[in-house]
Structure 1
Amino acid sequence: MRGLEQEIYELECSHIHPEVRISKQKLGEVLDDEFYEIGSSGRIWRRADYDEDHALTPDEMEISDFLLHPLGEEAVLTTYQIWNKTSGKKSLRSSVWKKRTSGWKLFFHQGTPSK
């Protein structure tokens, strides 16, 4: 991987890291103000849900099959698979990242259970 692909891959890895998942502040540095998520549980999440006292589980996860799909100069789509080492479950993931003045921010995320 090179350039933009490497940068976005590292951002994807950062927001699934247990240390970031349990920190409202660190997660807030990754999420866009307009963040929207459809979780693998089927639940809808918005940025405000993470600004409250909600904490994600500090699961250990690993990304594979990462692909970057440019959507223009200021947006990219990523697709990949997650293996949740803690639960033993796999899911397919997609994210839309938008370039903001403060850097790339996670705008949309979806998880779909897989086998």
Structure 2
Amino acid sequence: MNHDSIKNDLLRLEEKLLTPEVRTSEIELSKLLADNFFEFGSSGKVWSKQSGLGPNGIGTVRMSLSHFQIHPLNEEIVLTTYQIFNEEKMQHSLRSSIWKYEKASWQMIFHQGTPIP
């Protein structure tokens, strides 16, 4: 895979994680989040896949993504960075995710949200 292909794939997955259809589906989230996934949320809470996933997924929010970049760490691990605007809270945040390519698909293993004052 080349840089542009990886960037397009990961942007599509990050945007997919913002959709109500995926956020409310335990099945879809389980496909995208690695078993060892954890997050430092913009709320300051720490989440894991096990603690964050319930029958209703992780809930819905209205967010838009911008300034998306990728930073390959090796051939199968990539750091993504971007900004999110939470339309409900009217708040911007910096975001970073680590994705791992394994068994012909990408899974998120880490995510962090940091509010922008």
TM more than 0.5:
yes
Q: In the TM superposition, what is the alpha-carbon distance from 1:54 to its structure 2 partner?
A: 6.1
Distance 1:51 1:24 in 2: 6
Distance 1:92 1:60 in 2: 16
Distance 1:56 1:84 in 2: 15
Q: Give the % identical residues.
A: 41
SS at match of 2:22: helix
- Residue type of the alignment partner of 1:84: N
- Could you tell me which residue of structure 1 aligns to residue 5 of structure 2? 3
* Aligned counterpart in structure 2 of residue 24 of structure 1, from 7, 23, 26: 26
* Aligned counterpart in structure 1 of residue 76 of structure 2, from 74, 77, 94: 74
- Could you tell me which residue of structure 2 aligns to residue 93 of structure 1? 95
Contact 2:78 2:98 in 1 (8 A): yes
Query: What stretches of structure 2 of length at least 5 have no aligned partner?
Result: none
Q: In the TM superposition, what is the alpha-carbon distance from 1:65 to its structure 2 partner?
A: 0.6
Q: What is the TM-score normalised by the length of structure 2?
A: 0.90
Q: In the TM superposition, what is the alpha-carbon distance from 1:20 to its structure 2 partner?
A: 1.1
Residue 110 of structure 2 corresponds to residue 108 of structure 1: yes
Q: In the TM superposition, what is the alpha-carbon distance from 1:17 to its structure 2 partner?
A: 1.3
- Residue type of the alignment partner of 2:92: K
Distance 1:50 1:83 in 2: 21
Regions of 4+ moved over 6 Å: none
- Residue type of the alignment partner of 1:107: I
| 1:63-91 Cα distance to aligned partner (Å, 9 max, x none) | 10111000000100010000111221111
Q: What is the TM-score normalised by the length of structure 1?
A: 0.91
Over aligned residue pairs, what C-alpha RMSD do you find?
1.6
Number of residue-to-residue matches in the alignment: 115
Contact 1:94 1:111 in 2 (8 A): yes
